[in-house]
Copies of this chain bind each other. A is one copy, B any other.
Amino acid sequence: MPNVSPQPDQLQVLAFDIFGTVVDWHGSLKAEVEALYPGIDGDAFANAWRAGYRPAMARVMSGELGWTRIDDLHRMILDSLLPDFGLAHLDEAARVHLNRAWHRLNPWPDSVAGLTRLRRRYTLCTLSNGNIGLLADMAKRAGLPWDCILSAEVFRAYKPDPRTYLGVASTFDLRPDQVMLVAAHHDDLEAARGCGLYSAYIERPLEFGAAHVKDVSPVAGNHLHAASLEALADQLGC
């Protein structure tokens, strides 16, 4: 696919990465943990929890674990993490409640407004490794206006498996180049381009917190690069 912007009339579906792209997992988890357990380093806790995510998915995709929802992977990581933060004493109810913090992540300030504008022209879906129930709970709480919630759980494969990106096109009976992935992560976007989708990078310099600012410089290959979802709506004329 040539590295040119898609024609707005060609695109039909925008598929969104969620964790970090649409919602602020770090800030939300940090705030929950610090409110529940004063004295805990919420910044370190949030980043440690998230750091366990890729290794856990790798165990599923390698076949070491059978198909496992992210809710259950998050819980496995949480259980292994609690002793490091002096929270080994948390009981089952407290762990269940804390694990569901991932269902209560807050959107970035531009997300709802940007999505609302983009939805006037395009079909908007999630394409997240998060499970369907997590994504539906999050959307209902945060007012994220999806037309459809798609997830690794639907395709029984985690991104960056091609079945996920091609699965979006197939779900809507479209060619891959009628779909654009919107994400704050270059590896996700690169895998989508490898399947023939268009790609839009969203700058989220504070994804890992103010103490760990992320480089959001443009990278060759992405078809669009925007500072926010409102800026993406501007670029697509919505």
Residues in A lying within 8 Å of B, measured CB to CB = 71, 123, 125, 131-133, 135-137, 139-140, 147-150, 153-154, 171-173
A130 to B118, CA, bound (A): 26
A150 neighbours in B (Cβ, 8 Å): 132
A211, chain B: closest CB distance, angstroms: 33
Partner of A139, one of B147, B172, B173: B147
A148 to B171, CA, bound (A): 15
A171 neighbours in B (Cβ, 8 Å): 131-133, 136, 153
A147 to B199, CA, bound (A): 26
Known: A123-B140, A153-B171. 8 other contacts (CB 8 A): A71-B173, A125-B136, A131-B171, A132-B150, A139-B147, A139-B148, A148-B149, A153-B154
A137 to B148, CA, bound (A): 9
A-B residue pairs in contact (CB < 8 Å), sample of 27: A71-B173, A123-B136, A123-B137, A123-B140, A125-B136, A131-B171, A132-B148, A132-B150, A132-B154, A132-B171, A133-B171, A133-B172, A133-B173, A135-B148, A136-B147, A136-B148, A136-B171, A136-B172, A137-B172, A139-B147, A139-B148, A140-B147, A148-B149, A149-B149, A153-B154, A153-B171, A154-B154
A137, chain B: closest CB distance, angstroms: 8
A119 to B154, CA, bound (A): 23
